[in-house]
Amino acid sequence: MKINESAENYLETILMLKNKNGHVRSIDIAHALSFTKPSVSVAMKALREEGYIVMDDDTGINLTDKGLDVASKVYKKHQVIAKALMSLGVDEETAYKDSCKIEHDISDISFNKIKEYLQKNNLID
């Protein structure tokens, strides 16, 4: 099943917030994405129903293995594509903004070739 771009963005944001803060709440996601709390609540319900997240008793949001898999792949694409753009001379802010758009549409074949090229040229680990 293909997950949509919006869901990928939510999952990636949950992963980044968890890594940064150690915990994630709906309000944290709303602030990070500049969305309303009701919009985030609707999205979290859908992600929970699809098995991508679980909510704990303290209203904390945690990724399931399924959610972590998607979030990790999207995050990795984001990082690699941004580094590729920066290696071409794109400034960091623009590279990260553009990589956020590209990460959802790039094929695995193209992404893997970009990653291989960067690794071969010691631009990423």
Outline where 1-125 has alpha helix (H). 5-21, 26-33, 37-49, 65-87, 92-102, 108-120
Kindly report the pTM of this predicted structure.
0.89
In tens digits, the chain (125 residues) has pLDDT values of 568 999 999 999 999 999 999 999 999 999 999 999 999 999 999 999 999 999 987 779 999 999 999 999 999 999 999 999 999 999 999 999 999 999 989 999 999 999 999 999 998 88
Residues near 14 by beta carbon (within 8 Å), at least 6 away in sequence: 24, 29, 53, 61, 63, 67, 71
The domains found in the chain, sorted by start residue, are: 5-69 (1.10.10.10), 72-120 (1.10.60.10)
Give SS3 for 53. Answer: strand
